[in-house]
Structure 1
């Protein structure tokens, strides 16, 4: 920073935040303002890559979404190097580093990262199975401490999309199908990360995906062209909006609209334009800003402007409904809609050109930059931008946090069926294992080499999906059919003829268990649970407390007949929403759904 900047009012901590914002805004060039309105992807490592260095020094960008983080010490060191680069710029505006969720099991560069060196907790859908705001609050506070330790100051979560379309691939990152429960858990989540107001001890949260990303046509995801349509055949738009009302009431720092394009949607007698929500003025300005009174940051989802080509795989811009527009025209439309920042984009020079040509007014740029700077001041980044490496190592993934995460994982298990005498396992039980590590059970039971040698078999399966890999990220979205293939069903039936089987299914989205369930002596549902945490349930150390956060359909036909926007809309589900035994030792006659 220059000597002049060091004496500036925006660095005076005695002044109110709004006054500091206005002082800084008044000192910024158009180019420096434009840089704030882009939120690029970067990778944390031993050094800051040259591309990111250029975006900071020449593009005046100060918001970065980090993907790779190898360990706590390296993450802290990398973060400090980013801040050092920013401190050398003319005004010294600090970097805000953001992240997708990092505390559970899903590994999807388009949505979330596995916990790695952070403490591991259930997926958010597992938190919904627990239905316990206090557990959500404790998780969020723990995650906040770990994020702070390595310099992560913005969370691209929570996700409050409702699980109303069983085939949709992203249900694991939300809080289930019930709008009221989702809103309650979202409020607890926001309190844990942000506190009652954003401060120097907060991680600022970006609630997504406005106005609710769950009701996808045919369950396909709008990351991809074939999944661009959001539909409301049951007229349940307001159900999907409800959790956002709660998040706004809880003070969410930012909101992200989804890629989806509403089809056939009317609201208050007005047809909603069939363009992606990030381009939709009726939704962003009319509904979010004016009707709901939200004045925080609105950041688009990633990649609305440009096509991308990664590892030789193309992914078109998610410019649904405006595919025919140029990049410049898309930018103008999104800003006019009410968006403040472009996620996953790094082209401030285009925005500068739009202002200089008169297509976008500087007053409109100031409006967005004002909101973005305000969060930086609230977070205390101008006063304390660096983190301590030793603190990062001591805090992140410490033994206390890991144990609390394990307990929450175990508690979140849902017991759907539990015949007497099968569970819990004892030290003398001979157990044959498939789909999990035998070593996880080795200290608790006798491991049997074959089913014929066993008293019981434990089988872990993931919910079924259709593998796809033509577009970038497509393989990471588990979409398509909810039915297990014939070979899996036949193998399971054969195994059940030899030995009582405990089936454990990881439900990142619902599965059709109808052909497997009659052959189970016990049936457990999990939502991001490690082998270690599962063993505590199987041996009776921890009681499974979970209740289903979404219903489990009886058949594909029932899914096809249901409305994508309606919570719990499939006919005669195999297991209803909220079902769960709350224990293991229950006679089979009491397990009927």
Structure 2
């Protein structure tokens, strides 16, 4: 290792250190820095004495005389086959990370540290990692401040273990609920998703570049760029059948918000747009991302995605050159980038573009402080992983992610008159069914199921009886009979049903970790990556269970634990009250119990519309205005429950809407002036609770057709009974401009209707006038 080289000098700028190091590198060493070829769980093996690095790892280091990045050193799940018997626990993780860094420092010429990248779509996917609600629930909290704290805890856990980059799903917008990865989306609205993306970046990285070096921060790598949530037919990795206007209005705002928040990386999507695969799309990865927005981070490939370009190029070297030219900087598992040395020597790849990618990778390593200290304190993980502070914030996130859809006759909260409560359903007592996909192996006793939460919170003397009744997609007559017998003697039934993204060792996986399912084959897993469905209804055994339970004539409270918006049309009428719990994470059972018994007032609002039928899609709220929502001869076009809906155990009212100013010019908006939207929100009920004040706009005069309404602001406030508070939201160019007929982002003169309230319907409206000249 060249210890006296200038790139080790802390007094120099990052740029100076990068250029010095780049100038010393051979072609082989440069290729090594843009490769992330091996699965991290193959880099070690457990021994009686701890962790030992494998020959496979050493060979990867030798391949490039260094290693750009190592993915998933701590990953633990059925795909990696890592468990507590053979994996790395929190207590031993820093030792393993340090062993990786020490080997590379001592056995390569330049001693360049390794980026350790880890999955954290809803908490760190590692043994002992804390798992939070999946994104579809996070979006339903509408609480950006809380989520920034939660993501801060996630970062602290990962960095304490010795890793540096968190791969987190923030960019997919849920327009197609048949897609198996629906749970990874913050919702169907670009504004809400962008706000949550900002929270994720700030929580993981901090608010300033300097914070990235701190021992509790990691680099945020956002995925997937872009429009993967618009897959044709809901089929994973399918083409996105969208035009540029929809791309810019719906799918790009999340990444743009991430860039503004300082995100250090993004992952290209598997899909294609207008015939161009994302990994080959120079307009996206360089034109928009870098030249238009000024992004300076790294672009990582998705797993073996560059190799998929062989259908266009015919050989690995040309596929690597195509991705490199488009703007991909770092590979993931593919063969193509391992051929870059040969591609450059054969004239297929531009060496200047390789240098560009290497600079970006090295810059991130310097900004993380890895050249100054690549090692991690081996005692800190025991303090950070699974901390009580994280548990409490995670519990609050679970509480706020749960949406009360209906509550006929004030059935909830459950009172003391219900002395015998039957808890029925396949999602009542399975912790994995409330955690979602990309979930690590769980130790016994960690977290709380719905059944456990009910037992903890139920009033003293309440008898809780339980039967599963069915599986997610399977069921037997014996299970059904048992459930009916148990429910028959109860005063009220809590029906815990829904979906599951639970992976197990009996399901085969492809090279990317997606479940390989056979059409028509029974599986309890009905959501998650690679698990796309044509029918959004719950499995027939669950529907039969719900029908038969309802026939008993007992009050029924439905608790739907799910990762996608299921069509609950045949379930909804059977329940007097209905909770949507999404996948609420490890603390979700506790949160459900608290809400059922009134210890917590539900405050979640739907981040995505719930359809009535698969045949009705799409049902997202911000559809284009054609006079009325288009329907069908045999079915309304309206969803069962729409975006922004969510009930409370109290009531709220918004009043006194004032715009200051009531008129503003397009020129003033372009100069940074903003409109203040003031409203008073009041708790008109008898229970303390949180209300989400939502602001929607409708452009009444535009050069292109506009959605019927668009979310452009929100604020979540806690109010005691009878308490009122003034809420101030702001509208500026970002909220009021549109992509015009000539694809310019401008505020156009005309009238804009402003609606504010606790739902789309709103409580009050006002008219904002945008003028041509100065007002």
After TM superposition, the score normalised by the length of structure 1 is 0.86
- Pair 1:381–1:333, CA change in 2 (3 A): same
Please state how far the C-alpha of 1:350 moved relative to its aligned partner: 1.0
Alignment counterpart, residue 491 of structure 1, candidates 521, 531, 545: 545
1:71 corresponds to 2:89: yes
Please state how far the C-alpha of 1:372 moved relative to its aligned partner: 0.7
Aligned to 1:441: 454
Alignment counterpart, residue 115 of structure 2, candidates 74, 77, 96: 96
Aligned to 2:738: none
Partner secondary structure for residue 533 of structure 1: helix
1:474 corresponds to 2:479: no
What is the CA–CA distance in structure 2 between the aligned matches of 1:51 and 1:566, rounded to whole Å?
54
- Pair 1:99–1:574, CA change in 2 (3 A): same
Aligned to 2:291: 290
What is the CA–CA distance in structure 2 between the aligned matches of 1:37 and 1:79, rounded to whole Å?
20
Alignment counterpart, residue 577 of structure 1, candidates 636, 643, 652: 643
Higher-helix-fraction structure: 1
Deviations 1:123-153 (Å, cap 9, x if unpaired)? 1221210111101210111111111100121
Please state how far the C-alpha of 1:287 moved relative to its aligned partner: 2.4
Alignment counterpart, residue 213 of structure 2, candidates 191, 195, 200: 200
Deviations 1:213-258 (Å, cap 9, x if unpaired)? 2111001111xxxxx3111279511121112211111111112220
Superposed counterparts of 1:5-20, under 5 Å: 5-20=2-17
Superposed counterparts of 1:503-522, under 5 Å: 503-522=558-577
What is the CA–CA distance in structure 1 between the aligned matches of 2:208 and 2:165, rounded to whole Å?
14
What is the CA–CA distance in structure 2 between the aligned matches of 1:565 and 1:512, rounded to whole Å?
19
Partner secondary structure for residue 643 of structure 2: coil
What is the CA–CA distance in structure 2 between the aligned matches of 1:286 and 1:166, rounded to whole Å?
30
What is the CA–CA distance in structure 1 between the aligned matches of 2:239 and 2:570, rounded to whole Å?
32
Partner secondary structure for residue 503 of structure 1: strand
Please state how far the C-alpha of 1:433 moved relative to its aligned partner: 1.4
Please state how far the C-alpha of 1:325 moved relative to its aligned partner: 2.2
Q: Return 367-376 or 445-454, whichever deviates more.
A: 445-454
- Pair 1:185–1:165, CA change in 2 (3 A): same
Alignment counterpart, residue 596 of structure 2, candidates 523, 526, 538: 538
Please state how far the C-alpha of 1:429 moved relative to its aligned partner: 3.0
Deviations 1:280-303 (Å, cap 9, x if unpaired)? 222222322223332321111111
Superposed counterparts of 1:106-505, under 5 Å: 113=125, 117-198=128-209, 199-201=212-214, 202-222=217-237, 228-232=238-242, 236-238=246-248, 239-263=250-274, 274-306=275-307, 317=308, 319=309, 322-323=311-312, 325-345=314-334, 349-420=338-409, 422-426=411-415, 429-434=419-424, 435=426, 436-437=428-429, 438-443=451-456, 444=458, 445-448=462-465, 450-463=486-499, 471=510, 473-475=514-516, 476-477=528-529, 478-480=531-533, 481-498=535-552, 499-505=554-560
Deviations 1:52-111 (Å, cap 9, x if unpaired)? 22212333213011123542112222111111111112111111111111645xxxxxxx
Please state how far the C-alpha of 1:173 moved relative to its aligned partner: 1.6
Deviations 1:358-403 (Å, cap 9, x if unpaired)? 2223222111111110110000011221112221112111122112
What is the CA–CA distance in structure 2 between the aligned matches of 1:399 and 1:446, rounded to whole Å?
30
- Pair 1:486–1:119, CA change in 2 (3 A): closer
Q: List alignment gaps of at least 5 residues for structure 1.
A: 105-111, 223-227, 264-273, 307-316
8 Å Cα contact 1:155/1:206 also seen in 2: yes
Partner secondary structure for residue 457 of structure 1: strand
1:55 corresponds to 2:73: no
Q: Return 65-74 or 403-412, whichever deviates more.
A: 65-74
- Pair 1:531–1:553, CA change in 2 (3 A): same
What is the CA–CA distance in structure 1 between the aligned matches of 2:630 and 2:164, rounded to whole Å?
39
Partner secondary structure for residue 560 of structure 2: strand
- Alpha-carbon RMSD across the aligned residues, in angstroms, is 2.9
Partner secondary structure for residue 377 of structure 1: helix
8 Å Cα contact 1:464/1:484 also seen in 2: no
Q: Return 414-423 or 213-222, whichever deviates more.
A: 414-423
Partner secondary structure for residue 284 of structure 1: helix
- Pair 1:388–1:346, CA change in 2 (3 A): farther
What is the CA–CA distance in structure 1 between the aligned matches of 2:127 and 2:599, rounded to whole Å?
25
Aligned to 1:269: none
What is the CA–CA distance in structure 2 between the aligned matches of 1:31 and 1:564, rounded to whole Å?
51
- Pair 1:361–1:210, CA change in 2 (3 A): same
Aligned to 1:314: none
- Pair 1:376–1:560, CA change in 2 (3 A): closer
8 Å Cα contact 2:158/2:218 also seen in 1: yes
Higher-strand-fraction structure: 2
Could you say which structure has the larger radius of gyration? 2
Please state how far the C-alpha of 1:488 moved relative to its aligned partner: 2.2
Please state how far the C-alpha of 1:11 moved relative to its aligned partner: 0.8
Deviations 1:159-181 (Å, cap 9, x if unpaired)? 22111112122122221111111
Partner secondary structure for residue 484 of structure 1: coil
What is the CA–CA distance in structure 1 between the aligned matches of 2:332 and 2:228, rounded to whole Å?
17
Deviations 1:185-216 (Å, cap 9, x if unpaired)? 11121111112333312311112222332111
- Tell me the matched-pair count: 551
- Pair 1:301–1:465, CA change in 2 (3 A): closer
Q: Return 550-559 or 279-288, whichever deviates more.
A: 279-288
Partner secondary structure for residue 523 of structure 1: strand
- Pair 1:204–1:35, CA change in 2 (3 A): same
1:21 corresponds to 2:18: yes
